[in-house]
């Protein structure tokens, strides 16, 4: 292990050191390999850039879901069904799925 990294780890709180070791192992596919601090910083920058891309993609998906609501159970678009119900946690269910669920519930109750 890089001398500066070794020194850094020895001066960290045990929780921080554990987190950094986990990150190093993650970068190396499960092994605590010989890596320099510079290499780790570079990998960290690459990871940050990747997280930004993932975050932006998720943000676009959220905006799209808001502009074009769909049923989270059957994926049908709001414009293709009679009603679309939205929960407080932004989960949608269409009237088709509500009817389907209601019929299933009635059948289950008759069986028991």
Per-residue x/- track, 35-74, Zn ion (CB under 5 A): ------------------------------------x-xx
Pick the piece of the chain touching Zn ion (CB under 5 A) from 1-9, 37-45, 49-57, 88-96: 88-96
Structure token pair of residue 99 = 């009817």
- Distance, in Å, from the CA atom of 21 to the CA atom of 6, rounded to the nearest integer, reads 11
By CB under 5 A, the count of residues binding Zn ion is 5
Residue closest to 74 by CA, chosen among 54, 98, 53, 56: 98
Residue closest to 35 by CA, chosen among 16, 21, 14: 21
* Closer residue to Zn ion, CB minimum distance, 9 or 98: 98
Burial of 94 (0-12, 13-18, 19+ CB in 10 A): buried
* Closer residue to Zn ion, CB minimum distance, 22 or 68: 68
84 touching Zn ion, by CB under 5 A: no
Where on the chain is the footprint of Zn ion (CB under 5 A)? Answer: 71, 73-74, 94, 97
């Amino acid at each position: 292990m890089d001398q500066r990294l070794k020194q850094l780890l020895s001066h960290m709180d045990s929780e921080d050191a554990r987190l950094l070791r986990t990150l190093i192992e993650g970068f190396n596919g499960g092994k605590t390999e010989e890596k320099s601090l510079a290499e780790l910083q570079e990998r960290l920058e690459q990871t940050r850039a990747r997280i930004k891309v993932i975050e932006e993609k998720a943000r676009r998906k959220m905006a799209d879901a808001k502009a074009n609501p769909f049923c989270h159970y059957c994926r049908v678009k709001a414009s293709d069904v009679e009603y679309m119900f939205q929960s407080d946690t932004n989960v949608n269910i269409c009237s088709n799925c509500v009817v389907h669920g209601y019929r299933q519930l009635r059948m289950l109750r008759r069986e028991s």
